[in-house]
């Protein structure tokens, strides 16, 4: 069955919008032509026609860092609810973290995740597998078997790998299998139960602070290990000026390092936290305004390659435990694009082209995916976005089970209105 998306505003290579009709067949983009050229003919052929009405049509967004919570924490999220939430945010490919219960440290759990994602039938779900068994940092998992089962990379996200020797062994093994190592960078000895970053907020509320070095020490260590082993090393949720300095230098001398940043670390600083509300608690924590500015500049100059959400749903009961005791993490799928569009594109700092690239083409390039581009022959994974539509963030309306966001009530523009995966509309308003 053919699908034709008429009157799609599409970014050209110069970053200008052009009105196009996109023809989809067999799940692939078959043709991109100036609007109305073949519409009459195709309609006569009985194709399904979707009129985008001049709205933006981009490659579907790709999120390389998400938590779907299944198996084991289905009260927070399931693969199905997480997939629906992703689709609602315009995402068509998501890569899920292994900190489930059991941890995705065995081929059976990798297969389980893939099976559940297939049953949900919404977005493409790419599973990561753990570096160490149960993410305890003691014993490496069976990388070859996990790769064979469909894992796309190795990470102990949720915790840092504390032992340098363990990380080096992991990188050597991953490099031999041509697989990336994705690192949550955190030195536990520098953190010890602190719930927020060092700074004014921590001082005012008498809380222990997480220092910037707790992240950057791992980044520096791992860059040296990546240099020694030749692995593709990808840094999770970068949040400090110091980490960025190290990554920038490593890239300059040709070390195979890439990095990601979350919308909240591009927008919020610790001084913005309004009070002891755990919807503002995430790992890494909100840092200083200086760090926020460093993250923005790093994404602009390509030191940081991609945007990810680190979608991390938790239940209302868990988040009600307060700043010290609640788990770290906030949801992200359904606010990511509107937040960044409103704060950076609508306000004139970034081009639309840059934002879209960091959420589509760049993640595809970094992780070798065949999606992420609007090109003839590519998978027809698309997001349709209403750039004019303005609406308040209402967590009660989320498709995710998680309501844990600091952005409730924010008035944003640029809401996705339909999401297409392999030529099939998986979500529309």
Ligand X SMILES: NC(=O)N[C@@H](CC(=O)O)C(=O)O
Q: Which residues are annotated as a binding site for substrate?
A: 67-69, 99, 283, 314, 328-329
CB atoms within 10 A of CB 391: 14
**Which of ligand X, Zn ion, none is residue 248 near (CB under 5 to 8 Å by kind)?**
none
287, 333 contact by CB (below 8 A): no
Stated length of the chain: 429
CA-wise closest residue to 364 among 154, 129, 126, 173: 126
Nearer to ligand X among residue 96 and residue 421 (C-beta): 96
Of the candidate residues 120, 282, 307, 387, the single one contacting ligand X (CB under 6 A)? 282
Q: Cβ of residue 135: shortest distance to ligand X, in angstroms?
A: 10
**Among 385, 300, 383, 384, CA closest to 341:** 385
Q: From Zn ion, ligand X, none, which one binds at residue 328 (CB under 5 to 8 Å depending on kind)?
A: ligand X
State which of residues 90, 107, 153, 158 lies at the interface with ligand X (CB under 6 A).
158
- Picking from 332, 429, 355, 322, the residue whose alpha carbon sits closest to that of residue 386 is 429
Q: Which does 282 bind (CB under 5 to 8 A by kind): ligand X, Zn ion, none?
A: ligand X
Nearer to Zn ion, 210 or 420 (CB): 210
Nearer to Zn ion, 130 or 236 (CB): 236
CB-count burial class (<10 Å; 0-12, 13-18, 19+) for 270: buried
Question: Cβ distance 380 to 374 under 8 Å?
Answer: no
Could you please report the per-residue DSSP string of 335-389? THHHHHIIIIITTTSS-HHHHHHHHTHHHHHHHT-S-S---TTSB--EEEEEEEE
Number of residues that bind ligand X (CB under 6 A): 12
Give which of 5, 124, 117 is closest to 417, Cα–Cα. 5
Question: If contact means CB under 5 to 8 A according to the sort of partner, which of ligand X, Zn ion, none does residue 99 touch?
Answer: ligand X
Least distance from C-beta 314 to ligand X, angstroms? 7
| 310 binds Zn ion, rule: CB under 5 A | yes
By rule CB under 5 A, what string of x and - marks binding of each residue 155-184 to Zn ion?
Answer: --x--------------------------x
By CB under 6 A, what part of segment 294-333 binds ligand X?
Answer: 310, 312, 327-329
Minimum CB distance to ligand X smaller for 80 or for 314: 314
Any contact of residue 135 with Zn ion (CB under 5 A)? no
> Of 21, 63, 157, 241, which lies in the binding site for ligand X, with binding defined by CB under 6 A?
157
Active-site option among 21, 305, 310, 386: 310
The DSSP string of 37-78 is SSHHHHHHTT-EEEE-TT-EEEEPEEEEEE---TTT-TTT--
Cα(126)–Cα(97) distance, integer angstroms: 9
Does residue 13 carry a catalytic annotation? no
Nearest residue (CB) to ligand X, 23 versus 104:
104
Residues 220-259 within binding reach of Zn ion (CB under 5 A): 236
Q: Which pairing describes strands 209-210 and 196-197: parallel, antiparallel, or unpaired?
A: parallel
Helix (H, G, I), strand (E, B) or coil at 257: strand
CA 307/CA 284 separation, integer angstroms: 15
Which residue, 30 or 272, has its beta carbon nearer to ligand X?
Answer: 272
385 interface partner picked from ligand X, Zn ion, none, CB below 5 to 8 A per type: none
99 part of the interface to ligand X, by CB under 6 A: yes
Site residues (CB under 6 A) for ligand X, limited to 168-197? 184
Q: Tell me the closest approach of the beta carbon of residue 262 to Zn ion, in angstroms.
A: 9
Q: For binding to Zn ion (CB under 5 A), which residues are involved?
A: 157, 184, 236, 310
Q: For binding to ligand X (CB under 6 A), which residues are involved?
A: 67, 99, 157-158, 184, 282-283, 310, 312, 327-329
Task: Enumerate the active-site residues.
Answer: 310
């Amino acid at each position: 069955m053919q699908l034709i998306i008429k009157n799609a505003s599409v970014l050209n290579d110069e970053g200008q919008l052009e009105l196009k009709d996109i023809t989809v067949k067999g799940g692939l983009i078959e043709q991109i032509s100036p609007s109305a050229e073949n519409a009459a003919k195709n309609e006569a052929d009985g194709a399904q026609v979707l009129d985008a009405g001049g709205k933006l049509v981009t490659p579907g967004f790709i999120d390389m860092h998400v938590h779907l919570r299944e198996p084991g924490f289905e009260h927070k999220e399931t693969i199905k609810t997480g997939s629906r939430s992703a689709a609602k945010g315009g995402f068509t490919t998501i890569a899920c973290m292994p900190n489930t219960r059991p941890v995705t440290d065995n081929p059976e759990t990798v297969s389980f995740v893939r099976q559940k994602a297939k049953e949900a039938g919404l977005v493409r779900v790419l599973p990561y597998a753990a570096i160490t068994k149960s993410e305890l940092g003691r014993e490496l998992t069976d990388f070859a078997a996990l790769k064979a089962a469909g894992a796309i990379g190795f990470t102990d996200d949720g915790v840092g790998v504390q032992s340098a020797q363990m990380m080096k062994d992991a990188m050597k093994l991953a490099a031999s299998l041509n697989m990336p190592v994705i690192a949550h960078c955190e030195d536990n000895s520098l953190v010890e139960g602190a719930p927020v970053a060092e700074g004014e907020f921590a001082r005012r509320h008498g809380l222990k602070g997480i220092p910037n070095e707790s992240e950057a020490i791992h980044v520096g260590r791992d860059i040296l290990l990546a240099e020694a082993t030749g692995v593709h090393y990808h840094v999770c949720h970068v949040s400090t000026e110091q980490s960025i300095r190290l990554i920038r230098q490593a890239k300059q001398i040709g070390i195979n390092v890439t990095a990601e940043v979350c919308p909240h670390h591009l927008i919020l600083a610790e001084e913005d936290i309004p009070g002891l509300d755990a919807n503002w608690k995430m790992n890494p924590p909100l840092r200083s305004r200086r760090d926020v500015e460093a993250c923005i500049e790093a994404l602009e100059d390509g030191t940081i390659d991609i945007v990810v959400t680190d979608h991390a749903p938790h239940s209302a009961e868990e988040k009600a435990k307060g700043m010290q005791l609640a788990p770290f993490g906030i949801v992200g799928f359904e606010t990511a694009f509107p937040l960044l569009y409103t704060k950076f594109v609508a306000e004139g700092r970034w081009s639309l082209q840059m934002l879209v690239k960091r959420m589509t083409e760049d993640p595809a390039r970094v992780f070798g995916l065949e999606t992420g581009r609007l090109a003839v022959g590519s998978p027809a994974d698309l997001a349709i976005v209403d750039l004019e539509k303005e609406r308040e963030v209402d967590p009660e309306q989320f498709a995710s089970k998680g309501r844990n966001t600091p952005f409730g009530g924010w008035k944003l523009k640029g809401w996705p209105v339909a999401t297409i995966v392999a030529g099939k509309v998986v979500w529309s308003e």
